[in-house]
Structure 1
Amino acid sequence: MELRHLRYFVAVAEERHFGRAAQRLHMAQPPLSQQIRQLEAELGLTLLTRTTRRVDLTPAGAAYLERAREILGAVDAAAHEAASIASGRRGRLLIGCVGSATYSLLPALARTLRAELPEVEFGFRGEMLSPDQAAALADGTLDLGLLRPLPDSSGLSITHLRQENLLVAMPKDHRFAARRRVRIPELDGEGLVIHAGSGRSAMNAMIQHLFEEAGISTRIAHEVAETSTLVTFVAAGLGVAIVPEPTAALAVPGVVYVPLAGTPGVELVAATRAGDESPLLTRALAILASLSAD
């Protein structure tokens, strides 16, 4: 028995006429009649009663019609599901974001992905430090990461998204709060609120490097894990912080953002597992690139 036998039988059962069923199937009537007889012979059942004017279902034929429709429906659904997955319109995608991307990019990304790929199940993890995202990509906990470049990107495929200027977040009553810009040497002696170090934060390493290049030492007042906590500590007057420009989307009362001059800024990249050529990932990266450009 083949699927075509089921399709032939359903057509005849629904049309109640071999001639109309043959026209519907775009085939001649004699081969259709022969295929139905073969099906009945294989089952050892009479599915149809034939007269010169019409065809009727036997009780066994009525039961078989119901199951045949279910089988053909399941086969068609399986083909649709496979095609959706192969084209990147269906599946599951887990996305991680560093702090500034969580507040500036994640909301628009989530809305756009859900609108353009409604059959895809998305999961998001915000406020993830870059090394944590790299580890999660490696063990399969994440499929896509929005992070800062890392010294070791082995095993990852990296796509540049945008270059973000740096700002100094400071309490609104800070002596530099009314300035148009601030330079690194002017922060000598300032207590810094900074993301956790010891290799846990790409931003921490970059800020330490900027201070070393300027010939001044960092005075770390507080180390935190999340960008929202960092900005809240600044609002509380516990220090100043160097942050990517999109962090200003966190409009925390009592915090002023002043551009940091003389620095190249910091890169935001998308990272996936090397060799992962999932059509869904390709679609998501295209959407992400468009949003980043905007």
Structure 2
Amino acid sequence: MELRHLRYFVAVAEERHFGRAAARLHMAQPPLSQQIRRLESELGLQLLRRTTRRVELTPAGEAYLLRARQILAAVSSAAGEAQRVAAGLQGRLVIGCVGSATYSLLPQLVRTLREELPEVEVAVQGEMLAPDQAQALADGRIDLGLLRPPVDDESLRVDVLRADRLIVAVPDGHRLASRRRIRLPELAGEDFVMHAGGGRSVMYDTVLARCREAGFEPLIRHEVSETSTLVTFVAAGLGIAVVPEPVSELLVPGIAYRALTGPASVELAAATRADDDAPHLARALAVLKGLVR
């Protein structure tokens, strides 16, 4: 039995006439009649009652028609799905994201992906530090990482998207809250709330390096893994923090964001597995880069 036999049977069953079915199938009537007889012989039952004027379905033929239509529809659906996947219009995408981008770029990215690629299922893991994202990419737990470079894993492809300026987050009653701009050396002696150290956060190393360049060692009182926790600690008066500018999108009562003088910034990059050539990932990256531009 072949799919064409099912198509032949469905055409005859729907037309109730061999001549009209043959014309619909663009074939001669005798070969069509022969193929239907072979199908019935293979099944060992009669599907059609033939008269001189029309063709009627037997009860077995009615049941077989229902299944034949389902099979042909499933085959057509499978072909369409494969074509959409090959074109990058269907698939599943898991995105990891550092905290600062979670509250700024990520919402717009997910909305745009849903609009432009509605058949791509998007899942998000926010508040992931860069080393955690690199490991999750290597393990296949995420497909796209929005992280802060550098990334040392050669199995990953890293494309810098933009540079985010560094700003200062202070409690709104802090002595520096009334200032529009703050110089980094003015933070010497302040209690700092930092992202996790020990190689777990690019921001920890970045802020530490900037402070040392400014001539002081920051007094690190608290280390946290999540940007939302860091901002909450600052709002509670537990210290100040140097953060990427997009963190200011996270509005929490009791906190003030102030500009930091100088050219200090930190990069945001898109990271993927170097051997991942999934078409829907390529489309998602194009959407992402378009948003950043």
TM-score (norm 1): 0.93
- What CA RMSD, in Å, does the superposition of the two structures yield over aligned residues? 1.7
Structure 1 residues 154, 72: closer, same or farther in 2, change over 3 A? same
Q: Please list every run of at least 4 consecutive aligned residues from structure 1 whose deviation after the TM superposition is greater than 6 angstroms.
A: none
Deviates more, 1:19-28 or 1:266-275: 19-28
2:184 touches 2:211 (CA, 8 Å); kept in 1? yes
**How is 1:148-227 mapped onto 2 (pairs within 5 angstroms)?**
148-227=148-227
Partner Cα separation in structure 2 for residue 286 and residue 228 of structure 1: 29
Partner Cα separation in structure 2 for residue 290 and residue 63 of structure 1: 53
Number of residue pairs aligned between Structure 1 and Structure 2 = 293
Report how far residue 285 of structure 1 moved.
1.3
In the other structure, the counterpart of 1:286 is 286
Q: Which amino acid aligns with 1:271?
A: A
Query: Secondary structure of 2:276's partner?
Result: coil
Query: Secondary structure of 2:103's partner?
Result: helix
1:182 touches 1:260 (CA, 8 Å); kept in 2? yes
Partner Cα separation in structure 1 for residue 22 and residue 43 of structure 2: 22
Partner Cα separation in structure 2 for residue 252 and residue 141 of structure 1: 31
Stretches of structure 1 lacking an aligned partner (at least 5 in a row): none
In the other structure, the counterpart of 1:268 is 268
Partner Cα separation in structure 2 for residue 274 and residue 61 of structure 1: 54
In the other structure, the counterpart of 1:5 is 5
In the other structure, the counterpart of 1:135 is 135
Partner Cα separation in structure 2 for residue 204 and residue 235 of structure 1: 19
In the other structure, the counterpart of 1:99 is 99
Stretches of structure 2 lacking an aligned partner (at least 5 in a row): none
Q: Which amino acid aligns with 1:54?
A: R
Q: Percent identity?
A: 67
Q: Which amino acid aligns with 1:185?
A: P
Kindly provide the CA deviation profile for residues 262-294 of structure 1, in whole angstroms up to 9, marking residues without a partner as x: 13411111111111011121122122222223x
1:131 touches 1:150 (CA, 8 Å); kept in 2? no
Report how far residue 52 of structure 1 moved.
2.5
Report how far residue 151 of structure 1 moved.
4.5
Partner Cα separation in structure 2 for residue 229 and residue 138 of structure 1: 27
In the other structure, the counterpart of 1:234 is 234
Structure 1 residues 13, 167: closer, same or farther in 2, change over 3 A? same
In the other structure, the counterpart of 1:79 is 79
Partner Cα separation in structure 2 for residue 116 and residue 226 of structure 1: 30
2:134 touches 2:151 (CA, 8 Å); kept in 1? no
**How is 1:7-86 mapped onto 2 (pairs within 5 angstroms)?**
7-86=7-86
Partner Cα separation in structure 1 for residue 171 and residue 240 of structure 2: 7
Partner Cα separation in structure 1 for residue 57 and residue 282 of structure 2: 50
Partner Cα separation in structure 2 for residue 65 and residue 56 of structure 1: 12
Query: Secondary structure of 1:165's partner?
Result: strand
